[in-house]
Amino acid sequence: MKLEAPTGAVHLIARPGESVTHTTAHVVLDTNSGAIQLKNKGNYGGSIKLVGSSVELSANSNKHITLDDTAGENNVKIHTPVEMEDDADITGNLTVGGDATITGNLTVSGTTTTISTETVQIADNIMVLNHGFTGSASEDAGIEIERGTDANKTFKWREDTDKWSIGDNTFEARRLELTDAGIEIDSESDNTTSTTIKTIDTFSTSDFDGGKYLIIASDGTDTQTTEILFTHDGSTVTSTQYGNVRSGSSDLATYTLDISISTFRLRATAAAATSTDYKIMRMVG
């Protein structure tokens, strides 16, 4: 098919119930750098235009460009990069088989966001949960960990108690600081294999003025638990051992406290040259 109008326009008109059909390999519409205008019932709706190496589909005001595969027999395929310089509204589902890069902001207005990736990297250093909530706080918030067939675990803020909660679970930490009270609870461990005195815990005398030690010694057979209260003035330690119980017939170790060049020391002397483990809890302020 070849339609030419060197000095004017060629109109292909299909009246109601009719169509314009061409069954050969392809149809060439040469606009000589112009545009193919799309008209419906006397109104121009848009145009197709070749600009350089690009094909532009343009819709006039209040008109839309629609790629339709209503029958579902074939997909609408675009075999070239697509640039959208204006908004795009997608009312159905969107599936992206490759990577998706979003240079602007992403707003998700649904009720559920599912991320099925193995690694999630977030640059924001503070994550905000329950964003958008207004009014007086009434809902708990936190993190829940999915554990398969085992019960899930949570770490959350409880509004009914105004406290953080980990449920009926154990919170493990080597050091706990109660900043308002100026109290620090620290845990250490050590081991001796001889009867030579050994320092098993230290801290700077400028950090704390006094406190309490709870020491549990074990040689694998017997156990000894000791509590010691102490205070110091920067050079001299005043202490008292007010609690000491053991499972065996004799103590596994004895303890002394002193200061060496601004360093407060807890020192242990084992009763026998066997392996003795020490678990130390220090509460200081």
Distances from the Cα of 114 to the Cα of 97, 110, 111, 117, 194, angstroms:
17, 11, 10, 9, 59
User: Are 253 and 271 a contacting pair, CB within 8 Å?
Assistant: yes
Q: Residue 197 — very low, low, confident or very high, per pLDDT cuts 50/70/90?
A: very high
What number does CATH give the domain 175-284? Answer: 2.60.40.1680
Q: List where CATH 2.60.40.1680 sits in the chain.
A: 175-284
Q: Residue 227 — very low, low, confident or very high, per pLDDT cuts 50/70/90?
A: very high
Give per-residue pLDDT as tens, 271-284: 999 999 999 999 99
What's the token pair of residue 217?
């010694």
Mean pLDDT comparison of 3-7, 24-28, 268-272, highest-scoring range: 268-272
Give per-residue pLDDT as tens, 250-268: 999 999 999 999 999 999 9
What is the model's pLDDT at position 225?
97
pLDDT over threshold 60, residue 73? no
d(CA 198, CA 228): 17
Q: For residue 120, give the H/E element and its range.
A: none
- Out of 28-32, 113-117, 129-133, 208-212, pick the least confident: 28-32
Distances from the Cα of 11 to the Cα of 3, 30, 260, angstroms:
9, 13, 103
pLDDT over threshold 70, residue 169? yes
DSSP state of 151: P
What is the model's pLDDT at position 177?
76
pLDDT over threshold 90, residue 12? no
d(CA 180, CA 174): 19
Give me the residue label for tokens 């020192």.
267
Please indicate whether residue 132 or residue 198 has the higher confidence score (pLDDT). Answer: 198
Give me the residue label for tokens 């990297």.
121
What's the token pair of residue 263?
């360093």
**In sequence order, what are the residues at sequence separation of 6 or more whose Cβ sits closer than 8 angstroms to the Cβ of residue 278?**
189, 190, 191, 192, 200, 215, 216, 217, 253, 268
The model's pTM: 0.52
Q: For residue 56, give the H/E element and its range.
A: strand 54-59
pLDDT over threshold 70, residue 232? yes
d(CA 173, CA 105): 38
Q: Residue 9 — very low, low, confident or very high, per pLDDT cuts 50/70/90?
A: low
Please indicate whether residue 107 or residue 50 has the higher confidence score (pLDDT). Answer: 107
The arithmetic mean of pLDDT across residues 83-98, rounded, is: 80
Count Cβ atoms within 10 A of the Cβ of residue 149 and give its class: 0-12 exposed, 13-18 middle, 19 or more buried: exposed
